[in-house]
Amino acid sequence: MRQRKNEITGILRHRQRKDPIRAAADYGIDIPMLFANLARTPAERIRRHQIALETFRTLRKAKHV
């Protein structure tokens, strides 16, 4: 009984120490894309966001025509 409790405690400790980047990837976050975006300047991220937003708006207008 005591051995089983120690095994369970060890498993729980291992889960708590899980690498946060691995946890994010397991959740579905695209880690390479995240790091690529973080390597850009804030101005470049804003510029790229504006391009994506305008593309979205254009496509949405085309859908409703």
pLDDT band of 47, cuts 50, 70, 90: very high
Residue 17: give the domain boundaries: 2-63
Q: Rounded mean pLDDT of the chain? A: 87
How far apart, in Å, do the first and last CA atoms of the chain sit? 69
| List of residues 6+ apart from 24 with CB closer than 8 A | 31, 34
**pTM for the model:** 0.57
Q: Which of the four pLDDT bands, split at 50, 70 and 90, describes residue 27?
A: very high
State how far the Cα of 65 lies from the Cα of 58, in Å rounded to an integer. Answer: 11
* Number of domains forming the structure of the chain: 1
